[in-house]
Structure 1
Amino acid sequence: MIALGAMSGTSTDGVDVAAVQIDSKTQEMRFLGATSAEFPQDLRDTLLLLQHIPPCFPTESDSIAIFLQTRKELTELYANTTNELLLLLGLEPGDVRVLGAHGQTLRHRPDLGYTYQMLDGALLASRTGIDVVNDLRSKDVALGGQGAPLVPAFHQAWLNGKGIYDRTAVLNLGGFSNLTVLNGQGHTLTGGDCGPANCLMDLWAQRAFELPMDNDGEIAAMGSPDSALLEKLWTHSFFHQAWPKSTGRDDFSARWFDGCISDSTDLASEDIMATLLSLAVRAVKSCLPVLVEQVYVCGGGAKNSTLINQLRCECAPADFFPIENLGLPAQAVEAAAFAWLGAQYVLSSVGNCPSVTGASRPAILGALHTAL
């Protein structure tokens, strides 16, 4: 079968859509292609506003109408990007069995029993002509799990298909970082979220430099990490919890960040950026088992050579490689994972990994919206 996956992550920068061919019997996979679309600035601004705690809407505004209109605009972008990929690959909607669609996380509080990813599955199915599976995290949370990360099971399936079973990790560097750790055939898969990766660096790039991001870590490379600020950031309780654990903007909010840097007014902006990059590295290092020999990197942070070089230095002897070495573009890995999760649903197969999320049992994930 051909499955599509659509994803917008915690960096809140755009939508990625990927196509994967999956053998229903053997589960062998082949990557077919991917495309991306940036969020229009107005849509991005509103999505970030909705993620802010609490949202800062103008006085007397209709917050529910803002939410619903933003959901429609987001879903239309998902649909347009999906249709662009179909055109690019020469596919018709009828050639695709399922579209696994993540949506945009607005709240993630598994400790309180909820997670929410904004998307209109019925509208997406109508606009693409493809059956859609979305709301992929809620069932795991309902079973007492974190609902995240969900990609480790896909990572394992993809790496096993390449003959890789042991002493290997996959590191996703999105707005937040997460790890998948392969411990050998017959051994339990482990993994989880590590902490902030791009989200705080992007926030600081926008505030201090009026840039959307620190391209290739150039700003961080000009600064020096401040040990006092780093230790203050490291006091966040999330860093001191054991897996299973997951996080997001609910934990590492702009308000929390402002509190941490309130006494750092004498620091150069470049030094703060360097400190945030060091925080991202430390978060990964704290979760990476010492027996891991090779780490395949994906996500937007894979393009940040300053970040990758510092990971190599701090996490030696483990070495870091681009996931392209395994036949997947770094930016398309999560979208491909949600294609796989959508396929798991239509095959009535388990999508979660309780050893990673902490759910009470394996489960089929998602809710189906048919195109007909």
Structure 2
Amino acid sequence: MQPIRALGTMSGTSLDGVDAAELVTDGEMIHGFGRSAFRAYTEAERATLRAALGRWPGEEGVAEAVEIVQDAHADLLVGFPDAEVIGFHGQTLAHDPENRRTHQAGDGAALAARLDKPVVWDFRTADVALGGEGAPLAPIYHLACARWIGADTPLAFLNLGGVGNLTWVDPSAADPEAALLAFDTGPANAPINDLAQDWMGEPFDRDGWLAREGEACPELVEAVLRHPYFLRIPPKSLDRDAFREAGARIDTLPPSHAAATWVAVIAASVAQGIGHCPTPPSRVLITGGGRHNPAIMAALAKDLACPVEPVEAVGLDGDMLEAQAFAFMAVRVARGLPTSFPTTTGVAASVGGGTISDPTGTLAARAGGAGHHVRRR
């Protein structure tokens, strides 16, 4: 297959906005990077999305959330006329893999019709239906990134969005299943963002100011780390608010101390997670919004036994890596390649998720004739 220009999107559980990034790829290798852009959610939009968290299709507030997600993506994606396919993640409102269900708000078929472009979407449902966690999905792209930077020893990518997720990568392994282990480590930006919103009217703790003003409470850090989630063997995944009850006492602290305590929880849970890796990573490359928080980065550097660096240190874009991942996976879905594996989501066998909505009828030809995977909706 010849590489094509794919456009990926990500609207994460931190609820800051929509990322969009182009990637030139054949679904197996990175051949080049294109343009990227960000569309922030307004305060009112964030409030509507936050109110819909934990809800399922048909429940109160979900239709309003879907409308915001659709409009925000359409506003942003119309500015990428050269994209040949779009990977549309939608907005995760609820995630319950134990009961084989997950909810990413957004209708890829409607977006495809609106933009008149092929859209690959609903990436998680097939994995969850087959007993997988449905997350994280970016690991197969992390493997491509590790090879693109020329890594020759095992390393880890740590994405700090609403929750933290870690991918251990061995770039020397030929089989993706042997090359990858992935799982959610614990809370990340979500509880700190909620604190910042509630106490300062800000969507996040800019420059870690709030956390750096406070002191962590070790007893409450330990209390959160006693959560049953940390006893589970990966692969495993989390809902955004999985630690709301366990962390309720943290949120009764003065805001700066609460933020500092959540930072300590983030670092301690990542350090504990790295203990699950088949071999210690040679370095941890940080992506996602959390790498902009100096308090989080300092805590990780203190708690981890290997170098901790933002992915920019190796020439990658940490703000757009997740969006690029869904561009990469859109091409994999179009080619009929798997997007998740037993070692990344716990699914019984490698599976390719995703629905293809193609009003143009051109994606099959672009993807090398994988027409039987295309659903026109």
Q: Is the structural similarity TM-score above 0.5?
A: yes
Matched residue, 1:225: 216
Unaligned runs of 5+ in 2: 361-377
Contact 2:52–2:61 (8 Å) recurs in 1: no
Q: Cα deviation per residue 1:188-210 (whole Å; 9 max; x = unaligned)?
A: 31121101100011111222333
Identify which of 232, 247, 268 aligns with 1:241.
232
Q: Give the whole-Å Cα distance in 2 for the aligned partners of 1:150 and 1:43.
A: 26
Matched-pair contact (CA < 8 Å) for 1:104–1:117: yes
- Residue 100 (structure 2) pairs with residue 113 (structure 1): yes
Distance in 1 separating the partners of 2:200 and 2:217: 19
Separation in 1, partners of 2:31, 2:96? 33
In structure 2, what is the equivalent of residue 303 of structure 1? 292
| Corresponding residue to 1:124 among 72, 96, 111 | 111
- Which residue identity lines up with residue 338 of structure 1 in the other structure? F
What displacement does 1:235 show? Answer: 2.2
Aligned to 2:319, the other structure's residue is in SS state: helix
Which runs of no fewer than 5 residues in structure 1 stay unpaired?
A: 56-62, 87-91
Q: What is residue 31 of structure 1 aligned with on the other side?
A: 33
TM-score by length of 1: 0.89
Query: Aligned letter for 1:162?
Result: I
Shift of 1:306: 1.6
Question: 1:15 is matched with which residue: 6, 10, 18?
Answer: 18
Determine what percentage of the aligned residue pairs are the same residue: 33
Partner of 1:182: 169
Q: CA 1:128/1:320 → structure 2, altered by over 3 Å: closer, same or farther?
A: same
Structure 2 CA distance for aligned equivalents of residues 159 and 70 of structure 1:
35
TM-score (norm 2): 0.87
Shift in CA distance, 261/208, structure 1 to aligned 2, threshold 3 Å: same
- Per-residue CA deviation, residues 230-250 of structure 1 (Å, 9 max, x unaligned), is 122222211221101000225
Which AA in structure 2 matches 1:76? D
CA change 1:146–1:52 in 2 (3 A) is closer
Change (3 A) 1:130 1:140: same
Give the 3 Å change call, closer, same or farther, for CA 203–66 of structure 1 in structure 2: closer
Provide the aligned C-alpha RMSD in A: 2.1
Mapped pair 1:360 → 2:351: no
Alignment match, 1:89? none
Q: Equivalents in 2 of 1:139, 1:351: separation in Å? A: 10
Aligned-partner SS, 1:360: coil
Q: Assess, with a 3 A threshold, how the Cα gap between structure 1 residues 184 and 34 changes in structure 2: closer, same or farther.
A: closer
In structure 2, do the counterparts of structure 1 residues 54 and 128 end up closer, same or farther at CA, with 3 Å as the change threshold? closer
Match of 2:364 in 1: none
1:269: which partner in 2?
A: 255
Indicate conservation of the 8 Å contact 2:54/2:94, yes or no: no
Aligned amino acid, residue 167 of structure 2: T
Match of 1:314 in 2: 303
Q: Is the 8 A contact 2:13 2:161 kept in 1?
A: yes
Task: Indicate if the aligned counterparts of 2:223 and 2:246 stay in contact, CA closer than 8 A.
Answer: no
- Once residues 349 and 180 of structure 1 are traced to their aligned partners in structure 2, the CA distance between those partners, rounded to angstroms, is 20
Partner Cα separation in structure 2 for residue 250 and residue 300 of structure 1: 18
User: CA offsets per residue over residues 3-43 of structure 1, 9 Å max, x none?
Assistant: 0001101101100000001146x733311121001112222
User: Could you tell me which of 316, 339, 347 is aligned with 1:351?
Assistant: 339
Which secondary structure does the structure 2 equivalent of 1:166 belong to?
coil
Distance 1:67 1:124 in 2: 17
Letter in 2 for 1:200: P
How far has the Cα of 1:353 moved from its partner? 2.2
AA partner of residue 10 (structure 1): T
Q: Encode CA deviations 1:320-363: one digit per residue, 9 max, x unaligned.
A: 12212333211100000000010101112111122111101112
The separation in 2 between residues aligned to 1:73 and 1:102, in whole angstroms, is 14
1:184 CA displacement: 4.9
Contact 2:51 2:61 in 1 (8 A): no
1:145-192 alpha-carbon deviations (Å, 9 max, x no partner): 101000011000121122214221111011111111123522431121
Is residue 71 of structure 1 aligned with residue 66 of structure 2? yes
- Worse-superposed segment, 319-328 or 338-347: 319-328
Cα distance in 1 for partners of 2:357, 2:60 equals 23
Q: Would you say the 8 A contact 1:146–1:359 is kept in 2?
A: yes
Is the Cα–Cα contact under 8 Å of residues 31 and 327 in structure 1 kept in the other structure? no
SS in structure 2 of the partner of residue 337 of structure 1: helix
Q: Tell me the SS of whatever aligns to 2:325.
A: helix
Counterpart Cα distance in 1 of 2:62 and 2:304:
42
